[in-house]
Amino acid sequence: MSDIKTALMADIKACMKSGEKDKLSVLRLISAAAKQKEVDERVELDDTAMLVILDKMAKQRRESIEQFRKGARDDLADIEQSELEIIQTYLPQPLDDAEIDQLIEAAIEKTGASEIRDMGKVMGTLKPELQGRADMGAVSAKIKARLGA
């Protein structure tokens, strides 16, 4: 069992004992998403697969927050924000812009990318390193700018 799943299950038990209903519901959502993936693919999830699930859930929350703020629904945006904060506790520490730029440069050198059509190679190299630690949309934009799109 992955370390993230183990921590998640322990936190679910702790929330059940302490009566933290809001946090418990978010943790159960994460657990359900993991179990669904395990059932669908008939595999035991490792930490990398858990990071993919958590990253996707975090991205959904960020997009919802943006939409709710545009629609002047701050009440709903606040709920999504609190869910995002709980999800982020299971994600690794985010990288800052300088670290991301450094990894992009290293990936471009490693793959020999020189134009925009090489972007897939660069993204393929970076994705395992950046999963859960950076917004891949922002990373994609930086790579496009660097390769001259």
pLDDT 10s per residue in the chain (149 long)? Answer: 688 899 999 999 999 999 999 999 999 999 999 999 999 999 898 888 898 899 899 989 999 999 999 999 999 999 999 999 999 999 888 888 888 889 888 888 888 888 888 888 888 888 888 877 888 888 888 888 888 75
Q: Which domain holds residue 139?
A: 97-146
The long-range contacts involving 55-58, CB below 8 angstroms and separated by at least 24 positions, are 55/91, 55/131, 55/132, 55/136, 57/29, 57/30, 57/33, 57/87, 58/84, 58/87, 58/88, 58/91, 58/132
C-alpha 107/C-alpha 135 separation (Å) is: 17
Q: What is the CATH number of the domain that holds 119?
A: 1.10.10.410
Whether residue 78 sits in one domain with residue 12: yes
**Apex 70 CA angle, 68 and 73, nearest 5:** 40
Among 70, 88, 106, identify where a domain stops. 88
Number of domains in the chain: 2
Among 43, 71, 88, identify where a domain stops. 88
Whether residue 73 sits in one domain with residue 41: yes
C-alpha 17/C-alpha 5 separation (Å) is: 19
Q: What is the CATH number of the domain that holds 66?
A: 1.10.1510.10
Angular region, 84: left φ>0, alpha ψ -120 to 50, beta rest: alpha
61 close to 1: Cβ distance less than 8 angstroms: no
Whether residue 41 sits in one domain with residue 77: yes
Whether residue 60 sits in one domain with residue 16: yes
C-alpha 57/C-alpha 132 separation (Å) is: 10
Among 50, 66, 88, identify where a domain stops. 88
Whether residue 50 sits in one domain with residue 11: yes
Q: What is the pTM (predicted TM-score) of this model?
A: 0.77
Whether residue 55 sits in one domain with residue 32: yes
Q: Max CA-CA distance within the chain?
A: 56
Phi, psi for 71 (deg, rounded to 5): -90, 10
